[in-house]
Amino acid sequence: EPEVTQTPSHQVTQMGQEVILRCVPISNHLYFYWYRQILGQKVEFLVSFYNNEISEKSEIFDDQFSVERPDGSNFTLKIRSTKLEDSAMYFCASSVGVGTEAFFGQGTRLTVV
C-alpha cells in the first residue's frame, strides 16, 4: 500500500544550525503539506504546497522556514537557524486533491539542544 515516507525519524541539532527534513509523498498525489506537533499539544498546520508553490502558510512558517520539491519525488522542509522552540514532531502529508483524504508520514522528531 502506498505510503508517505519521512527521513530521518529522529534528528538532534544544535541551536542555530540548519536542518532539512525530507519526505517522499505518495506518487500520484499533487498536494503536499507540513504539520508539526509539539509534545503534548495539538497538531498544527505549517504549509501547503501545490504546483510548485506555497498555497497557504501559517504564522509559524516565518522566514526561517522554507519548502522545496527538488525533483519529482521529494518534498523538503528547511529550517534555517533552529531555535529550542522548534523542537517537535514534524509530519509530512499528501493528498490527491483538496478535499480528498490526506495521508501522513510517520514523522521526524526534531530535538534542538
Partner 1 sequence: KQEVTQIPAALSVPEGENLVLNCSFTDSAIYNLQWFRQDPGKGLTSLLLIQSSQREQTSGRLNASLDKSSGRSTLYIAASQPGDSATYLCAVLSSNTGKLIFGQGTTLQVKP
Note the residues at the interface with partner 1 (CB under 8 A).
Answer: 31, 33, 35, 41-45, 48, 50, 55-56, 58, 89, 91, 93, 95, 98-107, 109
Nearer to partner 1, 18 or 30 (CB): 30
Nearer to partner 1, 4 or 19 (CB): 4
What's the closest the beta carbon of residue 112 comes to partner 1, in angstroms? 18
CB-based contacts of 97: which residues, under 8 Å, 6+ apart?
30, 31
What's the closest the beta carbon of residue 55 comes to partner 1, in angstroms? 4
Nearer to partner 1, 57 or 66 (CB): 57
CA–CA distances in Å: residue 105 to residues 51, 63, 83, 88, 95: 20, 24, 23, 15, 12
What's the closest the beta carbon of residue 59 comes to partner 1, in angstroms? 12
Which single residue is written with the C-alpha cell 502558510? 57
Q: How far apart are CA 54 and CA 41, in angstroms?
A: 25
Report the amino acid identity of residue 86. D
